[in-house]
Chain A
Amino acid sequence: AQSVTQLGSHVSVSEGALVLLRCNYSSSVPPYLFWYVQYPNQGLQLLLKYTTGATLVKGINGFEAEFKKSETSFHLTKPSAHMSDAAEYFCAVTAGYSTLTFGKGTMLLVSP
């Protein structure tokens, strides 16, 4: 069984500040990890993913995430927030070729 915990249902940052969205996972087998972004009334867009290999993965829009097996974490970061980053972010886990299990999401609020 797999599960995802996203710490903080809302995160507020100022434009230009560091963005850090936290994700911890539980998986009985080596996981594949994903971050998706969802804008209001839209579907989910893939930001980045970790499958195997390099533990620091880079995604679209300047986001990156680091897989830390010892901490069972896959936190999402961006050095400098932009107003257009305001959205809901979901962390998800899958064990290879099975279905995705999502966290409850973190709403990112960006103030000018």
Chain B
Amino acid sequence: DTGVSQDPRHKITKRGQNVTFRCDPISEHNRLYWYRQTLGQGPEFLTYFQNEAQLEKSRLLSDRFSAERPKGSFSTLEIQRTEQGDSAMYLCASSLSKDPAGNTIYFGEGSWLTVV
């Protein structure tokens, strides 16, 4: 049983550098989500894809952030010119849009970003 996979699990970067995270969803899932979680807070929605189409973006997703899902399978989240405020855990999740039991969203282990 392969769940949602994220890479890398941890990343330390200097302020101003670019970072990229990769997410591989559960294989039959056509929806893919990115969330951000800071210490002491619940996850906050960033963006989601249905197949390769990016259907919704949060206003939290500044122009330094870009997400892609070119072939409707894996996705990447890139943060350009990182700032200390970007330090957080970035969670990827996936679901099946026609889930008869409701839109159950399954999360990966997360990618921790520390900007120094």
Contact = CB atoms under 8 A, between A and B. Distances in A.
Interface string B7-20: 00000000000000
Contact of B107 (A36, A51, A96): A36
B103 interface: yes
Given A43-B108, A97-B103, A90 B97 contact: no
B42 A104 contact: yes
Given A51-B101, A99-B48, A43 B42 contact: no
Contact of A49 (B4, B48, B56, B104): B104
Interface residues on B, range: 20 to 34
B45 A99 contact: yes
Interface of B: 4, 6, 33, 40-45, 48, 56, 91, 93, 97, 101-110, 112
By Cβ-Cβ distance, the 10 closest A-B pairs, closest first, are: A102-B42, A51-B102, A44-B107, A43-B109, A43-B107, A43-B110, A97-B103, A99-B45, A32-B102, A104-B42
Interface of A: 4, 9, 32, 34, 36, 41-46, 49, 51-52, 90, 92, 94, 96-105
